[in-house]
Amino acid sequence: MTRSTPSTSTATPSSGSSSSSTLTRITLVCQDWGGLIGLTLPMDMPDRFERLLVMNTALATGERSPGPGFEAWKGWVATQPDLDVGALMKRAAPSLTPAEVAAYDAPFEDARSKAGVRTFPQLVPVTTEMEGAAISRRAVAWWRSAWQGDAFMAIGMQDPVLGPPTMRQLREVIPGCPEPMEVPEAGHFVQEHGEPIARAALAAWS
Q: How far apart are CA 124 and CA 18, in angstroms?
A: 24
Compute CA distances 129 → 7, 37, 61, 62, 183, whole Å. Answer: 14, 17, 10, 7, 35
CB 52 within 8 A of CB 28: yes
Catalytic annotation, pick one of 84, 105, 159, 193:
159
Does the annotation mark 82 as catalytic? no
Does the annotation mark 32 as catalytic? yes
Query: Which H or E run contains 36?
Result: helix 33-38
Catalytic annotation, pick one of 44, 84, 150, 188:
188
Does the annotation mark 188 as catalytic? yes
User: Phi then psi for 16, rounded to 5 degrees?
Assistant: -60, -35
Whole-angstrom Cα Rg for the chain: 17
Mind telling me the catalytic residues?
32, 159, 188
